Amino acid sequence: MRRHTLTTRLWHWLSLPCLVVLFMSGLNISNAHPWLYWGEWGFAPEHAWIALPRFPEWMTIPGRYSLAQARAWHLLAAWPFALLLLFAWIAMLANRHFARDIATNRRDWRPRAVLADVRAHLRLDFDHAGHARGRYNFLQRLSYGLVLGVVLPGMIATGIAISPGMGPSFGWLVELVGGRQSARSLHFILAWGLFAFFVVHIALVLLTNPWRQLRDMVTGGRRDAA
- 90-143 pLDDT, tens digit per residue, is 999 999 989 988 998 888 899 988 898 888 888 877 665 444 444 688 888 999
Q: CA dihedral in degrees (176, 177, 181, 185; nearest 10)?
A: -170
pLDDT of residue 152: 97
- 157-179 pLDDT, tens digit per residue, is 999 999 877 767 788 888 888 89
Separation between Cα atoms, residue 39 and residue 169, nearest integer Å: 18
Separation between Cα atoms, residue 51 and residue 34, nearest integer Å: 6
pLDDT of residue 130: 44
Domain residue limits, the chain: 6-219
Q: Which DSSP string do the residues of 151-209 spell out, in sequence order?
A: IHHHHHHHHHHH-TTTGGGGHHHHHHTTSHHHHHHHHHHHHHHHHHHHHHHHHHHHHS-
pLDDT of residue 167: 64
Separation between Cα atoms, residue 8 and residue 27, nearest integer Å: 28
What class, spelled out in words, does domain 6-219 have in CATH? mainly alpha
The total number of residues shown for the chain amounts to 226
**pLDDT class of 224 with cuts at 50, 70, 90:** low
> pTM for the complete prediction?
0.88
